[in-house]
């Protein structure tokens, strides 16, 4: 979709803002450009819509050299969102949102319908906010209008330069979530500039880590965090990169442990015998449809059925959730393991050892060059997902309640 080929930008005062930059962005991909202030991110972005012209090299958009396209027509194919938005203060929210459709000569009815649709898409009510002026909105609402305006003419490409930089952390977090949800629906190709590593990791399909005038590493967040290419990148992503990786590595059904399973309604004595035979500390209780009822602990009562003794599994997460959510569930419920569910069905359990193994695997898969697959942690003893291995964890024994 976008290709930078040996692009250099030198400003008239001799500053080299970008030096021999080459990278590409695939269609439908959200790429974050991240790095400290002054390293050339904005310059890089503005060369795509020709607000700045390169000194050398070329930029291709869908295979076409943008230097040969008319800049005005080029910009109509590219949505542009900047910090503090640049909304027209004397135009209403609806009028602001219609800016590009207006330039494109859409009829008034079509413009209005599109603007209203987009305001709803970014979480604003057109009948409430549409007739307001930008000064009558909160910072977060103005940013949403900025995004709606950029999407109005349905451009295939969005350029976003620190779009959420001017709002407080709580609003920023919400805007990020909303934007991710929006991107799921519209699947634009997005270049997103930020100096915030957390934001870059959270939003990016891939991230380009900028040093002065150049890209130090261009890869998925999991790989950048798990295997920084240079000491500069390692320093920039921070010493807590292991923690950050928990947010970008999903729980996978293939990497779980499988403690013994007993059926709801079966005799408690049978469950006790199974646990003793397997040397396992607990068994998972499932209903006939494979749904998770709870668990029974070893050494418990043997009278009646397992239903009489089933304890609630407090810590549970869906397949695909970030490892961070699983870890957080274990901490919150003081549990040694968390159950993993796939829709209504139980899929297995995650323990600290399998969590560590999953982090390690994500580096090895992503960093196919095998550069440095270390999680920065010593190997957790016995990490693995053996079917028959006894698991050592405890689920919330202290405050477990029978269900
Ligand atoms: P970033 O967006 O990463 O903060 P910029 O692309 O804005 O970085 O700037 C990169 C470098 O180019 C900086 O050293 C900045 O001072 C310089 N620069 C940016 N714009 C100009 C300009 N118009 N004239 C001269 N130098 C500039
Ligand atoms: Mg900038």
Write out pLDDT tens, residues 173-192. 888 888 998 899 889 999 99
Q: What is the pLDDT of residue 175?
A: 86
Q: What is the pLDDT of residue 366?
A: 53
Tell which atom from ligand 1 comes closest to the C-alpha of 210: 3
By C-alpha distance, which of 273, 303, 220 is closest to 31?
220
Residue, of 242 and 377, whose pLDDT is higher? 242
Report which protein residue has its CA nearest ligand 1's atom 1: 38
Mean pLDDT of 114-131: 91
Mean pLDDT of 287-313: 94
Report which protein residue has its CA nearest ligand 1's atom 18: 17
- Whether the CA torsion 37, 171, 208, 244 is positive or negative: it is positive
Burial 110-143 (b: 16+ CB within 10 A, else e): ebbebbbebbebbbbebeebbeeebeebebbbbb
Banded pLDDT at 275 (limits 50, 70, 90): very high
Residue 239: count other Cβ atoms within 10 Å of its Cβ: 9
Phi-psi region of 399 (alpha: psi -120 to 50; beta: other; left: phi over 0): alpha
By C-alpha distance, which of 248, 187, 193 is closest to 223?
248
Report which protein residue has its CA nearest ligand 1's atom 5: 40
φ, ψ at 232 (rounded to 5°): -60, -45
Ligand 1 center to residue 35 CA distance, Å?
A: 13
- Residue from 38, 51, 195 whose mutation best tests the ligand 1 pocket (most atoms within 8 A of CB): 38
Banded pLDDT at 242 (limits 50, 70, 90): confident
Mean pLDDT of 207-214: 96
The per-residue pLDDT for range 26-56, each reduced to its tens digit, is: 999 999 999 999 999 999 999 999 999 999 9
Q: What is the pLDDT of residue 241?
A: 82
Q: What is the pLDDT of residue 69?
A: 93
Mean pLDDT of 340-357: 94
Banded pLDDT at 85 (limits 50, 70, 90): low
Tell which atom from ligand 1 comes closest to the C-alpha of 45: 6
The per-residue pLDDT for range 357-381, each reduced to its tens digit, is: 988 877 666 544 434 444 444 444 4
Q: What is the pLDDT of residue 375?
A: 45
Decide if pLDDT at 383 tops 50: no
Decide if pLDDT at 298 tops 60: yes
Q: How far is it, in rounded angstroms, from Cα 337 to Cα 340? A: 10
Out of 69-78, 97-106, 285-294, give the one with best mean pLDDT. Answer: 285-294
Q: What is the pLDDT of residue 31?
A: 98
The closest ligand to the CA of 39 turns out to be 1
| Ligand 1 neighbours by CB, cut-off 6 Å | 11, 13, 15, 17, 37-43
Mean pLDDT of 262-286: 95
Six-digit token string for 298: 């070893």
Which residues have their alpha-adjacent CB atom under 5 A from ion ligand 2? Answer: 42
pTM, entire model:
0.75
Q: What is the pLDDT of residue 308?
A: 94
Banded pLDDT at 139 (limits 50, 70, 90): confident
Q: How far is it, in rounded angstroms, from Cα 293 to Cα 130? A: 49
Q: What is the pLDDT of residue 364?
A: 63
The per-residue pLDDT for range 387-403, each reduced to its tens digit, is: 333 344 445 443 333 33
Pairing of strands 189-194, 2-10: unpaired
Instruction: Say if CB 73 and CB 184 are below 8 A apart.
Output: no
Q: What is the pLDDT of residue 359?
A: 83
Angle, in degrees to the nearest 10, between helices 323-332 and 352-366: 170
Task: Kindly list the structural domains of the chain, giving each domain's residue range(s) and its CATH number in brackets, ordered by start.
Answer: 2-248 (3.40.50.300), 253-392 (3.10.580.10)
In the 8-state DSSP scheme, what is residue 270? Answer: H
Report which protein residue has its CA nearest ligand 1's atom 11: 17
Ligand 2 center to residue 52 CA distance, Å?
A: 13
Lowest mean pLDDT among 165-174, 208-217, 232-241: 165-174
Q: What is the pLDDT of residue 121?
A: 86
Instruction: Say if CB 239 and CB 256 are below 8 A apart.
Output: no
- For 339, the 3-state DSSP assignment is strand
Report which protein residue has its CA nearest ligand 1's atom 10: 40
- Residue from 15, 41, 162, 211 whose mutation best tests the ligand 1 pocket (most atoms within 8 A of CB): 15
Mean pLDDT for the chain overall: 87
φ, ψ at 313 (rounded to 5°): -90, 105
Helical residues (DSSP H) of 122-240, grouped into ranges:
126-129, 139-151, 169-186, 197-203, 221-226, 231-237
Q: How far is CA 384 from CA 25, 196, 219, 372, in A?
A: 36, 35, 27, 20
Q: Per DSSP, what are the bridge partners of residue 3?
A: 24, 60
Instruction: State what percent of residues in the chain have pLDDT above 90.
Output: 64
């Amino acid at each position: 979709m976008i290709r930078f080929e040996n692009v250099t930008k030198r400003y008239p005062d001799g500053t080299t803002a970008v030096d021999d930059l080459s990278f590409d962005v695939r269609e439908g991909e959200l790429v974050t450009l991240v790095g400290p202030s002054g390293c050339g991110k904005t310059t890089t972005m503005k060369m795509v819509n020709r607000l700045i012209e390169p000194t050398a090299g070329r930029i291709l958009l869908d295979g076409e050299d943008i230097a040969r396209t008319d800049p005005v027509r080029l910009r109509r194919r590219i949505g542009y969102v900047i910090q503090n938005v640049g909304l027209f203060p004397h135009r209403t929210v609806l009028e602001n949102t219609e800016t590009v459709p207006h330039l494109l000569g859409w009829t008034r009815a079509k413009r209005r319908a599109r603007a209203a649709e987009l305001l709803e898409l970014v979480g604003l009510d057109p009948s409430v906010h549409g007739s307001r002026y930008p000064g009558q909105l909160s910072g977060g609402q103005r940013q949403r209008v900025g995004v709606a305006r950029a999407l109005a003419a349905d451009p295939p490409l969005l350029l976003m330069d620190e779009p959420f930089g001017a709002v407080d952390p709580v609003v920023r977090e919400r805007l990020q979530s909303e934007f991710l949800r929006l991107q799921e629906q519209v699947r634009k190709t997005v270049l997103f500039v930020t100096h915030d590593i957390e934001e870059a990791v959270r939003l990016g399909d891939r991230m380009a880590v900028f040093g002065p005038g150049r890209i130090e590493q261009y890869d998925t967040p999991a790989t950048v965090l798990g295997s920084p290419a240079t000491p500069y990148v390692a320093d920039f992503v921070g010493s807590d990169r292991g923690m950050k990786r928990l947010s970008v590595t999903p729980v996978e059904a293939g990497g779980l442990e499988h403690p013994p399973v007993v059926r709801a309604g079966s005799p408690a004595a049978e469950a006790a015998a199974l646990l003793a035979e397997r040397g396992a500390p607990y068994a998972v209780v499932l209903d006939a449809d494979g749904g998770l009822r709870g668990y029974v602990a070893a050494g418990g009562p043997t009278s009646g059925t397992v239903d009489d003794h089933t304890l609630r599994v407090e810590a549970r997460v869906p397949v695909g959730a970030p490892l961070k959510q699983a870890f957080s569930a274990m901490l919150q419920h003081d549990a040694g393991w968390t159950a993993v569910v796939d829709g209504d069905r139980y899929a297995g359990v995650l323990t600290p050892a399998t969590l560590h193994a999953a982090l390690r695997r994500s580096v090895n898969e992503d960093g196919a060059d095998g550069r440095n697959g270390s999680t920065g942690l010593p190997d957790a003893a016995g990490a693995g997902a053996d079917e028959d291995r006894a698991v050592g964890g405890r689920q919330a024994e202290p405050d477990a309640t029978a269900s």
